[in-house]
Structure 1
Amino acid sequence: MSYIETDLIHAGKTFNASRAVVPPIYQTATYFAEANPEDYLKTATEPRHPYFYHRHGNPVSSQTAELLAKLEGTEAALLTATGMAAISTAVLSVVKAGDHVVAQQSHYSAASILLKELLPQFGVEVSFFDQTDNTSLDAVIRPNTSLIYLETPSNPNLAITDLAYVGASARSRGITTICDNTFASPINQRPADFDIDIVVHSATKYLGGHSDLTAGVICGSQEAVNLAWKKLLSLGGALAPFDAWLLLRGLRTLSLRVKQINANALALAEWFQVHPLIKRVLYCGLPSHPQHQLAKQQMNGFTGMLCIEVDGKDEQEQFVRAQTVLNHLQVFANAASLGEVESLAVHPASMWGLHHSPEQKLKAGINDGMLRISVGIEHIEDLITDFEQGLAQI
């Protein structure tokens, strides 16, 4: 049995038909047909076949998908053009008109639009629960509930969902579960180990890790992934060959990157915790996090994501101060996305303003003085010094 670091380098090589050490990019839209009609019929109809037509499959995509399935501990995986393509395809492969979906209150804003606006247009009802309270989940489940949609740790407030509880509860009721594992990465957490049926990622983030591609992945049983593949044929969200190759390249260093990021994030969170201008630090690796014990139970590491709330006499002053700090950072880039080799910092209330009402922001735990930080692999002393000089501008 190999270790994850070895799998990241060697898994999926059966799809590399060349003698090249680095897998070639199959930059082609279509492939020559098999001479035997029976073989061609199989090529044309077999789910995710890598040698028929690009929307169906691609050798590099197949190699990358096999590696990701191994990382997440599932039978199969499917690559998509973006993280939202993975989320929407996975959800739409499960639900139909008349179904009921249960989702937590705090999750990625684009997923919120899918749940609150798109699904109801097609006759799917959605109810929301507090992911930090298991009893609130039980209270919203109905006889026609077909899906429970999760994200843990959540974006942006780092709330933790009890995966074991949700997995067991859903299995006992015959309800499918989907978990967005983007914030954690499979290095830190594997939802399938807790009976979660389908795992999705924005592979743009930790999995790719270099801010040079957009991609998504759906991991699950062969049956679940084949259903998602069939749905993806109609939705058209296939990942381009070059991006699949970039993703495979980025995955080679995933373990090294995430371990360094974990260490940096914990050290930075501990530094923030004692700084007089920081009112609150949200990081699931800190004992002060209200769900730290649960995080320890289901995570191997605590990710590079954290949130801080800049202090102030009221929320307006907090907002001004947070913007002042953000505008003076030199190492941390003010840019969307996360999980990359470089450190990023954003103002969630501004990013989520288009999608959330003030009441929804409050429910999601978003404060105007909050900064969401994605820690990279730079030297920790440079990261601390950057925030030290930024906070000094207040």
Structure 2
Amino acid sequence: MDNESEERIETRAIHAGQQPDSETGAVMTPIYANSTYVQDGPGDHRGYEYSRTGNPTRTDLEANLASLESGAHGRVFSSGMAAINTVLNLCEAGDHVVTSNDVYGGTHRLFTQVFEQYDLSFDFVDMTDIDSVSDAMRPETELVWVETPTNPLMRVIDIAAMAEIAHEYDALCAVDNTFATPYLQRPLDHGADIVCHSLTKYLGGHSDVVGGALITDDAALDERIGFYQNSVGATADPFGCFLVLRGTKTLPVRMDRHCENAHILAAWLDDHSAVERVYYPGLDSHPSHQIAAAQMDDFGGMFSFELDATLEEAGSVVSNTDVFTLAESLGGVESLIEQPAAMTHQSIPREERIAAGLTDGLIRVSVGIEHVEDLQADLSRAIDAILQ
């Protein structure tokens, strides 16, 4: 795409990294469902030799995602966890990582149950408190891992501040940008070194693909990431890449509706008599609303709310919706609802979970693009049936 950097994100979402197929003129990138490629001589290939190392469908997606994040290099993986695992592979035994105390449960599990056995150490802190992050840093800190907004308490972390602290210690700053997407937030513009995505979520957008991605501006860092991508082999298949390319084309229009619906529902729940608290950065009452307004273009389609309820009562609420689907994951066109304590964050010990604010009555919502009045009526029925 000519003059790509001059195009706005809505245009790049559709065109970046892609040209009509040179052989057939096909507008959409074809699915190159092959494992190997002809060589004109030993080692003399035409850009591709083996699909774990490189595949044309994946190449187009990687370029598309890099453009959306205002980055120079993109790598795509078989899942978001495979992408996070690759970032941790950049560390060595004895290194130290600072991250959030309400990080996604799967990330917490990977850090503590997989990488701690390889002599990596982790500090989980409240990243909204910049002093807490600074106090946790050590000479051996290699990585500052940031989620913003966090999952599921929707805390907003100052990316520029985290990057500055990381760089003072010659550490990398990586940001999981899954909740915001590049349509709403671009961490590289705020000093981050690596951006991570679960492509399963908003970028795919239709709950029909699993994938992950890492984007960076640093060529040397991208080369290291690419080494692990190829060596470990957790690469995305061409069918999945095709689906994500289809998804990114509608990302801007979907995100506009996700944000609109989420704001209406969050404001309504904020006034609901049975709701103790709503966690949504788009509310003026959110502690980090001003930071969110400064580093995000809108506030996203995710929020959580807290009921004064037992684990069983909150479980009954999420089990009694009709329009909202009780399921893990997020970011699809359909609305999803879940209970972190019993689902996505169950792997975190209860004492640690409660201390981080992940109560038994906490409910997380991924707001889809259905009519907002149907969504509101569905939540109202489910809450009133159990708690009133």
Is the TM-score greater than 0.5? yes
Q: Partner residue of 1:362?
A: 354
Q: Partner residue of 2:8?
A: 3
CA contact (8 A) 1:310 1:321 kept: no
* TM-score, length basis structure 1: 0.93
User: Could you tell me which of 231, 245, 263 is aligned with 1:266?
Assistant: 263
Q: Partner residue of 1:345?
A: 337
CA contact (8 A) 2:13 2:64 kept: yes
User: 1:392: Cα distance to partner?
Assistant: 2.2
Q: Partner residue of 2:79?
A: 82
Q: Partner residue of 1:25?
A: 31
1:239 is the counterpart of 2:236: yes
Q: Partner residue of 2:3?
A: none
1:69 is the counterpart of 2:66: yes
Q: Partner residue of 1:46?
A: none
User: Could you tell me which of 383, 387, 390 is aligned with 2:375?
Assistant: 383
Distance in 2 of aligned mates of 1:178 and 1:195: 10
CA contact (8 A) 1:282 1:307 kept: yes
User: 1:151: Cα distance to partner?
Assistant: 0.7
1:162 is the counterpart of 2:158: yes
CA contact (8 A) 2:20 2:28 kept: no
Shift in CA distance, 324/354, structure 1 to aligned 2, threshold 3 Å: closer
Q: What secondary structure is seen at the aligned counterpart in 2 of 1:271?
A: helix
Distance in 2 of aligned mates of 1:372 and 1:235: 33
Distance in 2 of aligned mates of 1:169 and 1:162: 11
Distance in 2 of aligned mates of 1:66 and 1:23: 12
Spell out the pairing of 1:138-157 with structure 2 (5 A cutoff).
138-157=134-153
User: Across the two proteins, how many residue pairs are aligned to each other?
Assistant: 379
Distance in 1 of aligned mates of 2:365 and 2:277: 13
Spell out the pairing of 1:266-345 with structure 2 (5 A cutoff).
266-312=263-309, 316=310, 319-345=311-337
Shift in CA distance, 249/239, structure 1 to aligned 2, threshold 3 Å: same
**What letter corresponds to residue 330 of structure 1 in structure 2?**
D
Distance in 2 of aligned mates of 1:105 and 1:295: 19
CA contact (8 A) 1:81 1:238 kept: yes
**What letter corresponds to residue 268 of structure 2 in structure 1?**
W
**What letter corresponds to residue 360 of structure 1 in structure 2?**
E
Shift in CA distance, 62/329, structure 1 to aligned 2, threshold 3 Å: same
Q: What secondary structure is seen at the aligned counterpart in 2 of 1:179?
A: strand
**What letter corresponds to residue 344 of structure 1 in structure 2?**
L
Distance in 2 of aligned mates of 1:327 and 1:127: 35
**What letter corresponds to residue 345 of structure 1 in structure 2?**
I
Q: Partner residue of 1:196?
A: 192
CA contact (8 A) 2:105 2:345 kept: no
CA contact (8 A) 2:78 2:237 kept: yes
Distance in 1 of aligned mates of 2:317 and 2:119: 45
Q: Partner residue of 2:131?
A: 135
CA contact (8 A) 1:324 1:393 kept: no
Q: What secondary structure is seen at the aligned counterpart in 1 of 2:181?
A: coil
CA contact (8 A) 2:198 2:211 kept: yes
**What letter corresponds to residue 200 of structure 2 in structure 1?**
T
User: 1:34: Cα distance to partner?
Assistant: 2.9
Q: What secondary structure is seen at the aligned counterpart in 2 of 1:275?
A: coil
Q: Partner residue of 1:121?
A: 117
Q: Partner residue of 1:215?
A: 211
Aligned-pair Cα RMSD in Å: 1.5
Q: What secondary structure is seen at the aligned counterpart in 2 of 1:345?
A: strand
Distance in 1 of aligned mates of 2:307 and 2:315: 10
Q: Deviations over 1:279-332 (max 9, x none)?
A: 1111011011111111111111111110011235xxx3xx33322322221000
**What letter corresponds to residue 360 of structure 2 in structure 1?**
D
User: 1:121: Cα distance to partner?
Assistant: 1.4
What are structure 2's unaligned runs of at least 5 residues? 1-5
Q: Deviations over 1:252-275 (max 9, x none)?
A: 100110111001000000110111
1:181 is the counterpart of 2:186: no
What are structure 1's unaligned runs of at least 5 residues? 44-48
Distance in 2 of aligned mates of 1:357 and 1:56: 39
Distance in 2 of aligned mates of 1:155 and 1:247: 22
* TM-score, length basis structure 2: 0.94
Distance in 2 of aligned mates of 1:208 and 1:186: 13
Distance in 2 of aligned mates of 1:180 and 1:91: 13
Q: What secondary structure is seen at the aligned counterpart in 1 of 2:184?
A: coil
Poorly superposed stretches of 4+, deviation over 3 Å: 14-18, 37-40
**What letter corresponds to residue 303 of structure 1 in structure 2?**
G
Q: Partner residue of 2:51?
A: 54
**What letter corresponds to residue 327 of structure 1 in structure 2?**
S
Distance in 2 of aligned mates of 1:101 and 1:27: 38
Distance in 2 of aligned mates of 1:38 and 1:213: 34
Distance in 2 of aligned mates of 1:59 and 1:330: 41
CA contact (8 A) 2:21 2:27 kept: no
**What letter corresponds to residue 37 of structure 2 in structure 1?**
Y
Deviates more, 1:155-164 or 1:114-123: 114-123
